[in-house]
Amino acid sequence: MTLAIDKTFTGSIPQLYEAHLVPLIFEPYAADLADRIAGLPVSRVLEIACGTGVVTRALDEALDDEVAIVATDLNAAMIEEARTHGTRRKIDWRTADAMALPFPDASFDCVVCQFGAMFFPDKARAFAETRRVLSPGGVFLFNVWDRIEENDFAHTVAQALASLFPSDPPRFMERTPHGYHDTGTIRRDLAAGGFAKADIETLAARSAARTALEPAIAYCQGTPWRSEIEARGSLEEATQVSARAIKSRFGAGPVDGKIQALVVTGNRDA
C-alpha cells in the first residue's frame, strides 16, 4: 500500500536525489529505456513521473532532433530540479498527475515511465490514462524495481534501519519502490487498463559509488525514507548506521552492488 508520504519529494530531496541516487541506480536503466525508444518510429514522446529528468536527458541524446519530448511529474520540486540541467532540444516540462493526464486522446507515439508506476495509487487507472493518450500502434514502456532482496544497497540500508528502529522500522523502500514486482499483478493491472498483452523482462545491472557513505546518503536523505527516519530519530545517525552496514558488507570504497529491475513493454493495440 502506497502512503501519501511516499510521494513527497520536497525540501532538499530533489537535489540529493539528483546528486546521489541518479548516478547510483537510475542512469543504467535510463540509458536502457532511451535505447529501446530510439529503435521505435516515434515523433512525439511523453514521459510520466520524470523525476529530476535522467530519462528525459537520455531521450534527448538518443532520439532524432525532430522528436518532441513532453516530460511530466506530480512533484513540482522535481520538475524544477530537472529544468536546471541542460538539454539539446526544448523540453516541454509540465507538472501533471498520471491518473489524469492533461492531454488529448491519441497524442503520443510512445509513453515512457522510469520507476514511477509503483507510486500510482490506482495503477489500472493510470495505465488506462496512458493507453488513452497513445496513438494507434503506440508503445508504453516502463520499468519497476524488482524485490528489495535483489538490490544490494537498498536491502542493506533497510536492514540497518530495521536494527536502528526495531520496534517500528521505516518501510518506505520495501513498501513502495520495491513493492510492485509481482509480474502477475503487473499484468492484471495492465489488462484492467486496456493493455491485453505485455512483455516483462528482468534486467540486472551494477550500482557503484566511491565510498560506503554515498549510497547511505542517497537512500536515507534523498528519498521519502527521510521523512520516516526523521519521525523516529536522528537522520545523521541513521545515515551513519547505514554507511557502516554498507562498509561491513562491501568495504569502505569504492563499493559495488547488484541492482535489478523489470522492464515492461505494452502496445496500445495488442
> CA nearest 261: which of 180, 175, 195?
180
How far is Cα 143 from Cα 141, in angstroms, rounded to an integer? 7
- Count of CB atoms within 10 A of residue 67's CB? 19
Q: Is the dihedral of CA 21, 24, 30, 36 positive or negative?
A: negative
Contact 122, 99 (CB under 8 A): yes
pLDDT of residue 2: 53
* β-bridge mates for residue 46, sequence order: 70, 111
Domain locations in the chain as residue ranges: 4-147+175-206+260-267
**CATH class label, 4-147+175-206+260-267:** alpha beta
Per-residue pLDDT of the chain (270 residues; tens, 9 = 90+): 555 544 455 567 889 999 999 999 999 999 999 999 999 999 999 999 999 999 999 999 999 999 999 999 999 999 999 999 989 999 999 999 999 999 999 999 999 999 999 999 999 999 999 999 999 999 999 999 999 999 999 999 999 999 999 999 999 999 999 999 999 999 999 999 999 999 999 999 999 999 999 999 999 999 999 999 999 999 999 999 999 999 999 999 899 999 999 999 999 997
Other CB atoms within a 10 A radius of the CB of residue 72 amount to 23
State pLDDT tens for residues 135-183.
999 999 999 999 999 999 999 999 999 999 999 999 999 999 999 999 9
pTM of the shown model: 0.94
Cell of 82: 530537472
Nearest CA among 203, 3, 193 for reference residue 98: 193
Tally Cβ neighbours within 10 Å of residue 90: 9
Q: Parallel, antiparallel, or unpaired: how do β-strands 108-114 and 44-47 relate? A: parallel
Q: What are the cell numbers at 9? A: 519529494
Residue 181 sits at φ, ψ, to 5 deg, of -120, -5
Cell numbers given for 45: 514522446
Question: Which DSSP letter does residue 23 get?
Answer: I
Q: What is the DSSP-derived secondary structure letter of residue 95?
A: E
Counting Cα atoms < 13 Å in the Cβ hemisphere of 270 gives: 13
